[in-house]
Homo-oligomer: A and B are copies of this chain.
Amino acid sequence: MNSVSTDVLISEVGPRDGLQSIKSIMPTKQKHAWIDALYRAGVREIEVASFVPAKLLPQMADADEVVRHAKTLPGLTVMALVPNLRGAQAAIEAGVHKVTLPVSASAAHSLANVRKTREEMIEEVKKIAQYRNECAPQIKIEAGIATAFGCTLQGLVPEDEVIWMAEQVIEAGADETGLSDTTGYANPAQIKRLFRRLKAAIGNKAGAAHLHNTRGLGLANCLAAYEEGVTSFDSSMGGLGGCPYAPGASGNVVTEDLVFMFEAMGIKTGIHLELLFEARKPLQLGVPTEIIYGMVPEAGVPKGFAAATQWGT
């Protein structure tokens, strides 16, 4: 299962984005079981934890241990979210392959969310890159431009400022930067326009699409991003996390539905749908009171469905 060819990379963010957004705390062993199950299904990049003070996010208190476990899985890219240099140092010490740092394109959101201006966040990226260059040159740094498609505080986020922010974080030393629809505001036309501009601005350092399904447009937006040449997508098993406003609505795009869409279209994800559905069990066992979304797991795959990814016997 390691050697299957793929057309797109599905980066599972549930163990971080999902688990840190809910009240339940998943026991460490259950996190391991869930990550193992995702891996068995063919998932090859997982954001496994957030390196933030445990008193702020007790759900992530076991970040070290989860990273160590995830690193035992061959060929898996183990990612962690870090809010600042201190978090990056801790993550790198724990052994992650890649850190991801959210930076807001919205001035208002940046201040409200991390109490830093956008310029101060760019400085933070610089410090992390310097630390990485000196201490761990093999570690990759990703910046995710949050509120890239609009902000619940300030409304419109000028596209020029989104692209400026992306250029600045690359300049500051990030290896890649993607665009995040933190607020579920994006539409397919906007997705295409901004990813086109992102690529024009930073070339192959343009990174993942991190899209939400708050207004039901999650998959349509992923499709638009794919059509614009994006090949890396963040999503969350069961739609866990993000900012769910609506009953029955998930914040993050549901991994299972996204994988189904691509596989049905003939686009190889390297992920085995039935085994992916199996990975919902350890997730549900680990957070038994949470609602696990997913239209395809509920409806089942179409009769006669043929996935794009080919599996050896």
Contacts and interface: CB of A to CB of B under 8 A. Distances in A.
Interface in A250-296: 254, 257, 260-261, 264-267, 293, 295-296
Contact of A299 (B187, B245, B261): B245
Contacts of A264: 187, 189-190
Interface stretch (A65-73, A149-157, A160-168): A149-157
B299 A265 contact: no
A214 B303 contact: no
A43 to B, nearest CB: 19
Interface in A187-202: 187-190
A188 B258 CA distance: 12
Interface residues of A, number: 47
Given A216-B254, A223-B220, A245-B298, A303 B261 contact: no
A1 interface: no
B257 A295 contact: no
A151 B188 contact: no
A215 interface: yes
A79 to B, nearest CB: 25
A247 interface: yes
Contact of A215 (B156, B190, B260, B303): B260
B265 A187 contact: yes
Given A247-B298, A295-B246, A298-B247, A304 B261 contact: no
B261 A295 contact: no
A25 B108 CA distance: 49
A257 B216 CA distance: 7
B184 A249 contact: no
Nearest to A263: B187
Given A248-B248, A266-B189, A304-B155, A220 B261 contact: yes
Contacts of A150: 302-304
A247 B261 CA distance: 19
Contacts of A295: 213-216, 246, 249
A265 B303 contact: no
A296 to B, nearest CB: 5
A303 B266 contact: no
22 contacts: A150-B302, A150-B303, A184-B299, A185-B303, A188-B223, A189-B264, A189-B267, A190-B264, A215-B295, A216-B219, A216-B257, A216-B295, A216-B296, A219-B219, A219-B220, A220-B220, A220-B222, A223-B223, A227-B227, A246-B298, A248-B248, A249-B295
